[in-house]
Amino acid sequence: MAILKRLAETARPAVPFTLDGQACQALAGDTVLTAVLTQAESLRQSEFSGAPRAGFCMMGACQDCWMQLENGSRLRACSTFIEPGMRLQSAPLPPAAVPGTLAVAAWPEDDIA
């Protein structure tokens, strides 16, 4: 269930985007944070604990709202406007999935039980 409910300004043009591969719709002028939290219970998962996060300050100060795009770039959701076709991820991508990063190979000893 969404954490935010839109009560006003519902006539703005629709802006399509995806969240974890699912088609979603925001309204023109929404921040990424508003766009996501009108669709989901949380903004992202903490890269440290995996706990759900939803931003805190809403003004670009706390750094709690960093999200990743499918191409690996990151944005601060409270101070970035949603754009048509944005492909957002709520969980950090593994490094090997991000273009331009090196994959981490397991050591052969890791397979020894």
Q: Is 67 exposed, middle or buried (0-12, 13-18, 19+ CB in 10 A)?
A: buried
The owner of tokens 């990424």 is 32
Is residue 60 a contact point for ligand FES (CB under 6 A)? yes
| CB distance 33 to 43 below 8 Å | yes
Task: Find the farthest-apart pair of alpha carbons in the chain and give their distance in angstroms, rounded.
Answer: 60
Q: In the bound complex, what is the minimum distance in angstroms from residue 34's beta carbon to ligand FES?
A: 11
81 to 110: interface string for ligand FES, x by CB under 6 A: ------------------------------
Residues 18-47 that bind ligand FES (CB under 6 A): none
Nearer to ligand FES, 46 or 101 (CB): 46
- Residue 65 interacts with ligand FES (CB under 6 A)? yes
